[in-house]
Structure 1
Amino acid sequence: MKEIINSPKAPAPIGPYSQAVKSGNTLYVSGQIPINQSTGNLIDTSIEDETEQVMKNLGYILEEAGLTFKHVLKCSIFVSDMGNFTRINEVYGRYFQENPPARETVEVSGLPKGVNVEISCIATFQE
């Protein structure tokens, strides 16, 4: 059985997917890009600002499901330029100061709407 989770605070899906799907004790959160849902604007002022907005969007979805970043088991980070990794990692790390999740970071040739970073995650409802 699966349950669809959508937060009105995070950007609405721009295709045939859900923001997140709960199955059993696991939440699968779709990749988030730096769109500010309240303004509809793409955040592109700096890689730090982009990453901050992506993390906020993930947080809104986790919150809608009743979870926090402490429940995240794994993240996948997609970047358009691995040269930005250190700056992305600095912002990302503020959300996972203790017991960080597993993750991979992959450089890709392109991301939706030409953004520089997209992050997805898997979280658990178990403590």
Structure 2
Amino acid sequence: MISHPDLPKPLGPYSPVVRAGDMLYVSAQAGVDPRTGQVPNGIAAECRQALDNIRRALEASGSSMVKVVKITLFYTRIEDLPEINAVFNEVFPTAPPARSAAIVGLAGGRSISIDAIAAT
């Protein structure tokens, strides 16, 4: 388990990031600002925040977003996919990771949750 003060606090009995060999597994991150506990308005802002939470976890673990190889995206509304894809194009402009996605119900009125696998 990797811990760091900049990482969002887990809401249950799980590790935010686990290192296994040369790989990092980042638990699903919602679009919650870890400093304020607030969810930004709009799916694009919430997606950016979730990806920023992943970035923080990776940087605290000695990695970065350019080393992400796989993303799993959980979101609540199919009509949000174009905005989500636009944010992904901003964050991963040249070499997007592999991605799986599922439409799900999320706790706390959240609209998105994203987990990641990255190289160290």
> Which TM-score applies when normalising by structure 2?
0.94
The two structures, once aligned, show a CA RMSD in angstroms of 1.0
Displacement of 1:113: 1.5
Take 2:80 and 2:3, find their aligned partners in 1: how far apart are those partners? 29
The superposition leaves residues 61-120 of structure 1 with CA deviations (integer Å, 9 ceiling, x where unpaired) of: 000011111110100000101110010111122111122110111111x11322111000
Fraction of identical pairs, as percent: 35
Q: How many residues are aligned here?
A: 120
- Cα distance in 2, alignment partners of residues 28 and 62 from structure 1: 9
| Cα deviation, residue 7, structure 1 | 3.2
The offset of 1:42, in angstroms, is 2.4
Q: Is the 8 A contact 1:28 1:122 kept in 2?
A: yes
Runs of 4+ in structure 1 deviating by more than 6 angstroms, as ranges, are none
Match of 2:51 in 1: 55
Task: Give yes or no for contact 1:10–1:36 (8 Å, CA) kept in 2.
Answer: no
- CA–CA distance in structure 2, aligned partners of residues 36 and 23 of structure 1: 27
Residue segments in structure 1 that go unaligned for 5+ positions in a row:
none
> 5+ residue gaps in structure 2?
none
